[in-house]
Amino acid sequence: MKCVKKNFGILNNRKINLFVLSNDNGFSAGCISYGAALQSLYFPDAPEKSVVLGFDNLRDYVKNKYYLGVSLGRTAGRIGGASFKTDGVVFTLSKNEGKNTLHGGENGFHRIIWNAKILETGADRCGVKFFTVIKPEYDGFPGEMQAEISYILNNSNELEIIFKALSDKTTLFNPSNHAYFNLGKEKTILNHCLQINAPYYLELNDENIPTGRKINTVGTAYDFTKKRLIGTSLKNLSNNYSIKNKGLDTPYCLNSKQAAVLEDENSARRITVLTDRNALVAYSANYFESGWNINGENSVPYMGIALEAQTLPDAPNHEDFGNIILRAGEVKEYRTVFKMEKYNSST
C-alpha cells in the first residue's frame, strides 16, 4: 500500500496536488486537491484506462461544467427556490441554476482548493484527507464550517469516501461525490448493466426539483430493482436516445446499504456502491457535449454514469426526505464505498 503525491498545477498561487493511492492488488485511485475530486480509478487488468471519467489537466477541472469526479457540498443536488426554513427562520442561498441552488451553489465544495494530508492508516490501507474551513461569505450558507473529505483505499479493493463536518451555526450538510463510471472499452455505458436497491424514485418537476411524490419503480423505465441494461432504460426514457428528452437524472429511495451494482460484461468489471445514505442519484451524462477531452477521448452523451450517494435532494423542504440540518457544535459524518472486482461474466 502506498500514497504518492504529485504536482497537478498551480491555481491562485497555490499548488494543486494529485494523490495516487495504490493497493497491493494493483488497484489505484487518483485524487486532486482542487474540488477534492476523484480524478481516476484503475483496475489492474487495464492500467491504461481509468474506470472513472477525468481530465488530465487542472485547466479543465477549473472549467468543469459536468462536475467530473468532484466533491459536492455543502449540499449535493438541488435546493428548490434556493431557500430553506428551520426553527422558524428562512435562509436564502445563492442561485446558480435558474431559481434554484445546485450542488452547493457557484462556490460549492467543487470550487475549493483543499488542504491535504496523507493519512497514516496501516499496512492494509492508505489514504488522503482533504480539509478546510468554509466561511458563509464564501458559499452563501449559514455558519462557519470545518469540513473534511477522506479517500481511503484498502486491500479488499474498496475505495471509501468519508465526509465529515462541524459548524458554529445551524446549516445544511448533504455532501456527495460526482464520479462518472465507465467500466469498459466502449465509449458509452449503454451496454453496462445496473441494479439499484430502490423500490421508489422521486418525481421531479420541469426544473428537476422533487415534487414530494415517491413513485414505485416496478414496471417503469426507471426500474433497476433487478439487473438491467442501461441502454434499454435510456431508450425508453429518451425517445431513441434523443438528448432533448433526457435520460437518467433520477433520485432513488434506497432500501439497503448496498445501494447499487454496476457491471460491464465485456470487461467483467464490477463496481458495488455501499453507503449509509438514503438515496442514490443516477445521472447518465445526458447533456455531455463534444469538445472536452475526457480520459483521452472526445466527450459524447452517455459517456459515463454518475452514482451519487446522498440524502434525498431538497430534503429541508420535504419532511420525509431525511435530515440534513447540521446544528451548531454537532459533528456529522457520512460514508460511501466503491468496491471494485472482476467477476465471471459467463455465469
- Give the catalytic positions in this structure: 178, 308
Please name which of 16, 18, 15, 20 lies closest in space to residue 1, comparing C-alpha atoms: 20
Q: In 141-174, which positions are buried (b, 16+ CB within 10 angstroms) versus exposed (e)?
A: bbbbbebbbbbbbbeebbbbbbbbbbbeebbbbb
What CA–CA distance (Å, rounded) separates 241 from 189? 12
Number of neighbouring beta carbons within 10 Å of residue 333: 13
What CA–CA distance (Å, rounded) separates 303 from 158? 23
If you ran DSSP here, which 8-state letter would residue 82 be given? G
What CA–CA distance (Å, rounded) separates 44 from 228? 26
Q: Where are the beta strands (DSSP E) in 236-303?
A: 249-253, 258-264, 269-275, 279-283, 293-294, 297-298
Beta bridge partners of 15: 10
Q: At residue 139, what are phi and psi to the nearest 5 degrees?
A: -110, -5
Q: Which residues contact residue 156 at a Cβ distance below 8 angstroms, ignoring those fewer than 6 apart? A: 339
What CA–CA distance (Å, rounded) separates 222 from 219? 8
What CA–CA distance (Å, rounded) separates 301 from 54? 15
Please name which of 201, 195, 176 lies closest in space to residue 277, comparing C-alpha atoms: 176
Q: Which residues contact residue 167 at a Cβ distance below 8 angstroms, ignoring those fewer than 6 apart? A: 143, 144, 145, 146, 173, 326, 327, 328, 329, 330
- Which residue type occupies 298? N
- Which residue type occupies 133? V
Residue reference for cell 479543465: 60
